[in-house]
Structure 1
Amino acid sequence: MSVTVVLPCLDEAAALPGVLAAVPEGWPVLVVDNGSVDGSPELAARLGARVVHEARRGYGAPVHTGIEAAGTELVAVLDCDGSLDPAELVGPVETVLRGEADLVVGRRQVVQSRSWPWHARAGNAVLAALIRASTGVAVHDIAPVRVARRQALLDLGIEDRRFGYPLETVLAAAQAGWRVVEVDVTYRRRAAGGKSKVSGSVRGTLRVLQDFTAVLRRRAFRRHPSGATAPNPLT
Structure 2
Amino acid sequence: MPCLNEAETLEVCIRKARGFLERSGINGEVLISDNGSTDGSQALAESLGARVTHAPRRGYGAALINGIETARGRYIIMGDADDSYDFENLQPFIDRLRQGADLVMGNRFAGGIAPGAMPPLHKYLGNPVLSGIGQLFFRPNVGDFHCGLRGFNRDRIAALGLQTTGMEFASEMVVKATLARPNYRIEEVPTTLKKDGRSRPPHLRSWHDGWRHLRFLLIFAPRWLFVYPGLVAFLLGALAVGILAFGGIEIGGVGFDVTTMVYASALCVIGYQSLMFFWLTKLFATAEQFLPASDRYRSVVAKWSAERGLLVGLALFVLGIVIGIVQVVRWSGVDFGPLDTTEVVRVAIPSALGIMLGFQTILMSFFSGVLTTPRRTIPQNAVIEA
* Paired residue total: 213
> Which structure's residues are more often strand, by fraction?
1
Equivalent of 2:143, from 140, 144, 156?
140
Scaled by the length of structure 2, the TM-score of the pair is 0.53
CA RMSD of aligned residues (A): 1.6
Structure-1 separation of matches of 2:153 and 2:67: 13
For residues 11-56 of structure 1, the C-alpha deviation after alignment (integer angstroms, 9 at most, x for no partner) is 1111111111111125301101111111111100100000011142
Per-residue deviation, 1:111: 4.2
For residues 123-148 of structure 1, the C-alpha deviation after alignment (integer angstroms, 9 at most, x for no partner) is 11111101111122221211311211
Give the greater-gyration-radius structure (CA).
2
User: Partner residue of 2:191?
Assistant: 185
Unaligned residue ranges in structure 1 (runs of 5+): 1-6, 199-203, 222-230
Unaligned residue ranges in structure 2 (runs of 5+): 227-386
User: Partner residue of 1:197?
Assistant: 203
Question: Structure 1 residue runs of 4+, over 4 Å off?
Answer: none
Q: Show the 5 A alignment for 1:63-102.
A: 63-99=64-100, 101-102=101-102
Which of the pair has the greater relative contact order for Cα pairs under 8 Å at 6+ separation? 1
Structure-1 separation of matches of 2:163 and 2:11: 32
The question of 1:113 aligning with 2:115 is answered yes
Identity in percent = 32
Scaled by the length of structure 1, the TM-score of the pair is 0.85
Per-residue deviation, 1:95: 1.0
Question: Is contact 1:9–1:32 with CA below 8 Å preserved after alignment?
Answer: yes
Question: Is contact 1:8–1:80 with CA below 8 Å preserved after alignment?
Answer: yes
Structure-1 separation of matches of 2:203 and 2:112: 19
User: Partner residue of 2:354?
Assistant: none
User: Partner residue of 1:153?
Assistant: 157
Structure-1 separation of matches of 2:112 and 2:98: 27
Per-residue deviation, 1:62: 0.2
Per-residue deviation, 1:102: 1.7
Per-residue deviation, 1:192: 4.3
Residue 88 of structure 1 aligns to a residue in which SS?
coil
Equivalent of 2:9, from 12, 15, 20?
15
Residue 14 of structure 1 aligns to a residue in which SS?
helix
Question: Is contact 1:16–1:81 with CA below 8 Å preserved after alignment?
Answer: yes
User: Partner residue of 1:3?
Assistant: none
> Which structure's residues are more often helix, by fraction?
2
Structure-2 separation of matches of 1:205 and 1:71: 33
Per-residue deviation, 1:84: 0.3
For residues 180-235 of structure 1, the C-alpha deviation after alignment (integer angstroms, 9 at most, x for no partner) is 1111111001114343111xxxxx111211221232132135xxxxxxxxx3x344
